[in-house]
Amino acid sequence: MGELTTDRIALGLTTYVVLLFSLSFHEAAHAWAALRMGDDTALRAGRISLNPVVHIDPIGTVLLPLLMFLSAGTPLFGWAKPTPYDPANFRRDRTLAQGHVTVAGAGPISNLILALAFTLALFGYLRLGGTVSRNPAYLILLSGIHINVILAIFNLVPLPPLDGSKVAAFSLPRDLAETYLRIAEPYGTWILLLLFATGMLGVIVGPIQGVVTGLLLSLVR
């Protein structure tokens, strides 16, 4: 645990605010997509909102970011309360698979959109003469890029309970989907926890995250 200096506290709070906004945007995107597919379950639960209070998960939104802040100084990762939806309410002019993939994919896509938005904002900030040395605006924009790329790539991992598991289950051909579900449904969460505990998740996701982040940052140079 590092020393809690003023700079470290400021950086931690800055990144946490960006993380809360990004998680709220992610879950609101799920809720909005479900509504577009004909299901108003999330709307009635008040989940089409950027208010972080309605999306908070005690562990993923509070405890984990706090532990990351205390250990590394920057809470760059977390998760929010899953957005509820009822596929029985999906529009009849869409297949069940289209509904599931649309709702599940909306979350990671929203984070990629946010990452691009933060990149464009950083581009404008630097072109207008903004400084990079301990500047709060610069730190907010930079952390916005990193956080949203991490959230997008991580959530696309095809293991329950992540969004990528639903995208995979309803995008694969039926025979492959059935084989995938026989493995993913009973063991997927345990596989994910094992990958996380051993550090293998970072080995798998890290290079992809690095490429995407590097590509975005190359646009502002």
Residues with a known catalytic role: 27
- Return d(Cα 7, Cα 106) in angstroms, integer: 35
The amino acid that residue 212 corresponds to is V
Q: Is the peptide bond before 65 cis (omega within 30 degrees of 0)?
A: no
Q: Return the sign of the alpha-carbon dihedral for residues 87, 158, 29, 170.
A: negative
3-state helix/strand/coil string of 131-190: CCCCCHHHHHHHHHHHHHHHHHHHHCCCCCCCHHHHHHHHHCCHHHHHHHHHHHHHHHHH
The residue assigned the tokens 């802040």 is: 69
The amino acid that residue 194 corresponds to is L
